[in-house]
Amino acid sequence: MARDPRYDILFEPVDIGPLRARNRFYQVPHCSGMGYRHPRAEARMRGVKAEGGWAVISTQECSIHWSGDYEPSPDALLWDDRDIPALALMAEAVHEHGALAAIELTHNGPMAGNLYSRVPPLAPSHTPVDDPDPVQARAMTKTDIANLRAWHRKAALRARDAGFDIIYVYAGHDLSLPMQFISRRWNHRSDEYGGSLENRARLFRELIEDTREAVGERCAVAVRFAVDELLGPGGITADGEGREVVEMLAELPDLWDVNVSNWNNDSTTSRFEREGNQEKYTAFVKQVTSKPVVGVGRFTSPDTMVSQIKRGVLDFIGAARPSIADPFLPKKIEEGRPEDIRECIGCNVCVSGERRIVPMRCTQNPTVGEEWRRDWHPERIAPSSSQDKVLVIGAGPAGLECARALGERGYAVTLAEAGDELGGRVTRESRLPGLAEWARVRDYRVSQLARMPQVEVYRDSRLSVEHVLEFGFPRVVIATGAHWRRDGVGRTNRVPIPGSPAGNVYTPDDVMDGVPIAGPVVLFDDDHAYLGGVLAEELRSRGLDVTLVTPLAQVSVWTWATLEQFRIQSQLMNAGVGVATCRNLTAIDPNGVELACIYTGARSRIEAASVVLVTARLPDDELFLALESDAEKRADAGIRHLECIGDAHAPSLIAAAVYAGHRYARECDEPVTDEIPFRRELVAIND
């Protein structure tokens, strides 16, 4: 189809110093959990984005020197010439598809614990390192500053030799030394690098000038700068020193990449911020510089993108998470099919990969991180190798993705859903506070299925063993989901809690189903992900007195990995939800609960009319087990392949369910072996 002319402006070329970007789509620097440990996987992932139409593709942070060692994080390294070949793989993959390759050079100062190099970290002034390690960074001397400038220059030259087109000077978060020198919170110096803003910005200026002198003839020099730390007068602000720094250095770089600090503000989840939320901080930048400006805001709507350009907010549409959810977002707009975009839901599961030191994953895009390991492509999938018809039972995230991917391969698929709604847990959870955008997981797949004549979808179709055997499909996939336990068994209590289940005990399923619940309520969260906090917020919004009890020291601890934990706990406390940490639920009675301190065992009591247990789930696998137990009946019915996927197999995140559905569709006609099902990048042993 032809491109909508309203979006033509997004495909105009833009000059960046000596270079020209083919359009306005710019994948800003973002981590991947792969980096130097998985360079082939890193290169393939970035190359797929270039194939998908992004004009500029950036690395994640790239450490310039071992005195800024951020192990165990697997981000990029450029310590010496031996690191060039791994990074060159990415530059080559990006160039293969006509895009520009950018690299974000950084030294993390006191944010780098130097756990590997074991040298004292560097900082503008004497200060403890950011992590709770009992380590303190030392104040940099003039010699240290001169060395830093030399290291940065050498890294820029190596980056050029690796094939990169755009070289970053990084001050985009308080993770980097240039930003720490600018910040009065970090910089307490009294020499020419401290005191006035001009002095505190001196190192930033020098690094930009050094980089331009070293590589400026061939490469563009970009800066990433956080114009606001969202700390008010105690930090850098867009109407204060953030603006002054941009005005001071306005024409020095070839491109301004602007954002807010720190990471949990820059990559806020959809639960707390909407698309384009950074505009209120970054819109001034184009008013004070003639250089092109890129910014982010979890942009998924082409209309919003056009508005950003036409209103003079940005020159480039920057994206990290939307480029992960759909690497082909630009192509789909260019080809006149924006309805095919897999829109980012802002859940930050991608971030959780980096935070857990593993290759990233995505709820919407199950192929991310698997481009090289399994040779999965987000827009290409092998055609079917048989005429088998497939029955998929359950239209939750696993069943929907399984049916969609099988249909794309050309299989004839029947998707049977027991209820009258599609989406399973996605539909139910997306009705909870802040999670509305999660419905995109369902909506994308339902819209794709609606255009596949080879896929039939039946609602209100609860199937029994007899039904399945009568149908006689050669392939049957069970994706019937899971349900929350009512007995309290979970991570802390491995046996049922005394007093459960009882008439005053409820589960997350009850809350989401709208079952009437009387207050006051004790919600026991032994799951530690997002749902306990969301349900407490939901119950509080119904006017109930709620106390959230957790055995851990913080609410929703796992959401540290999605950059939400602080926001979740502060929001609950501000809403009047009581929080009892380090307490286990030991007994339930009609009038309340007994708690025990996890350290001392000291007992306490909370009076409550209702108890909501958020502990663990059980798979709804009865249909699968009944079919699996009778191979003879399956054979008589012509069922040659039976599989259980998603939460019905092993309850986990929505992202895991989508991945399971996709993997089955990809691999259902491949032979089963004991071989490792993916490629590994092994360390080469050299003398």
**C-alpha–C-alpha distance, residues 464 and 462, integer Å:** 7
Residue 638 gets the label, from left (phi > 0), alpha (psi -120 to 50) or beta, of left
Q: Catalytic pick from 69, 83, 257, 266? A: 266
- Residues of each domain in the chain carrying CATH 3.20.20.70: 5-355
Determine the pLDDT at residue 133: 84
* Backbone phi and psi for residue 610, each to the nearest 5 degrees, phi listed first: -140, 150
List, as one string, the DSSP characters of 639-681: --EEEE-GGGTS---HHHHHHHHHHHHHHTTSPP-SS-SS---
CB 159 within 8 A of CB 63: no
Provide the token pair at 534: 């969301």
Nearest to 415 by CA among 458, 367, 470: 458
- Name 441's bridge partners: none
**C-alpha–C-alpha distance, residues 389 and 381, integer Å:** 18
> Within 10 A of 81 (CB to CB), how many other CB atoms are there?
12
**C-alpha–C-alpha distance, residues 370 and 662, integer Å:** 12
Determine the pLDDT at residue 684: 78
- Which residue reads 């250095």 in tokens? 249
- Residues of each domain in the chain carrying CATH 3.50.50.60: 486-618
Residue 449 gets the label, from left (phi > 0), alpha (psi -120 to 50) or beta, of alpha
Task: Judge whether 266 counts as a catalytic residue.
Answer: yes
Determine the pLDDT at residue 51: 98
Nearest to 24 by CA among 224, 358, 229, 307: 307
Taking residues 304-309, report their average pLDDT. Answer: 98
> Within 10 A of 607 (CB to CB), how many other CB atoms are there?
10
Q: Catalytic pick from 70, 168, 170, 659? A: 170
pLDDT at 479 over 80: yes
* Residues 217-238 pLDDT 10s: 999 999 999 999 999 999 999 9
Lowest mean pLDDT among 152-161, 165-174, 647-656: 165-174
Determine the pLDDT at residue 672: 85
* Residues 519-551 pLDDT 10s: 999 999 999 999 999 999 999 999 999 999 999
CB 7 within 8 A of CB 302: yes
First to last CA, the chain: 56
Determine the pLDDT at residue 131: 79
Question: What is the Cα gyration radius of the chain?
Answer: 27
**C-alpha–C-alpha distance, residues 424 and 400, integer Å:** 9
Q: Are strands 255-260 and 220-228 parallel, antiparallel or unpaired?
A: parallel
**C-alpha–C-alpha distance, residues 68 and 82, integer Å:** 17
Q: Catalytic pick from 65, 107, 173, 662? A: 173
**C-alpha–C-alpha distance, residues 407 and 567, integer Å:** 40
The one-letter amino acid code at 183 reads: S
* Residues 370-420 pLDDT 10s: 999 999 999 999 999 999 999 999 999 999 999 999 999 999 999 999 999
* Backbone phi and psi for residue 416, each to the nearest 5 degrees, phi listed first: -110, 125
Query: What is the architecture, at CATH level 2, of domain 486-618?
Result: 3-Layer(bba) Sandwich (3.50)
Query: What is the architecture, at CATH level 2, of domain 5-355?
Result: Alpha-Beta Barrel (3.20)
Can you tell me whether residue 476 is helix, strand or coil?
strand
Taking residues 268-282, report their average pLDDT. Answer: 96
pLDDT at 173 over 90: no
With a pLDDT cut of 90, the percent of the chain lying above it is 95
Half-sphere exposure of 502 (CA within 13 A, CB side): 16
**CB-based burial of residue 576 (10 Å sphere; 0-12 exposed, 13-18 middle, 19+ buried)?**
exposed
* Residues 638-656 pLDDT 10s: 999 999 999 999 999 999 9
Nearest to 38 by CA among 82, 81, 90: 90
Task: Judge whether 281 counts as a catalytic residue.
Answer: no
- Which residue reads 């039946």 in tokens? 458
Nearest to 309 by CA among 292, 328, 334, 325: 292
Helices 84-95 and 39-51: crossing angle in degrees, nearest 10, is 20
Provide the token pair at 533: 């906090």
pLDDT at 686 over 80: no
CB 458 within 8 A of CB 420: no
The C-alpha angle with vertex 189 and arms to 184 and 193, in degrees rounded to 5, equals: 90
CB 430 within 8 A of CB 438: yes
Determine the pLDDT at residue 606: 98
Determine the pLDDT at residue 605: 97
The one-letter amino acid code at 16 reads: I
Helices and strands: H and E segment counts in the chain:
24, 29
pLDDT at 277 over 70: yes
pLDDT at 687 over 70: no
pLDDT at 151 over 90: yes
**C-alpha–C-alpha distance, residues 445 and 567, integer Å:** 30
* Residues 184-194 pLDDT 10s: 999 999 999 99
CB 332 within 8 A of CB 344: no
> Within 10 A of 387 (CB to CB), how many other CB atoms are there?
9
- Which residue reads 């360390």 in tokens? 683
| Mean pLDDT across the chain | 96
With a pLDDT cut of 70, the percent of the chain lying above it is 100
Task: Judge whether 597 counts as a catalytic residue.
Answer: no
Task: Judge whether 668 counts as a catalytic residue.
Answer: no
Whole-model pTM over 0.85: yes
Taking residues 469-492, report their average pLDDT. Answer: 97
pLDDT at 55 over 70: yes
Determine the pLDDT at residue 132: 82
- Write the CA distances from 225 to 100, 113, 116, 163, integer angstroms: 20, 23, 28, 24
Nearest to 374 by CA among 38, 119, 81, 650: 38
- Residues of each domain in the chain carrying CATH 3.40.50.720: 389-481+620-667
pLDDT at 683 over 90: no
Taking residues 561-568, report their average pLDDT. Answer: 97
Taking residues 327-343, report their average pLDDT. Answer: 97
Fold of 389-481+620-667: Rossmann fold (3.40.50)
CB 391 within 8 A of CB 461: no
- Write the CA distances from 418 to 258, 423, 462, integer angstroms: 48, 11, 4
Q: Catalytic pick from 26, 30, 31, 340? A: 31
- Name 295's bridge partners: 258, 317
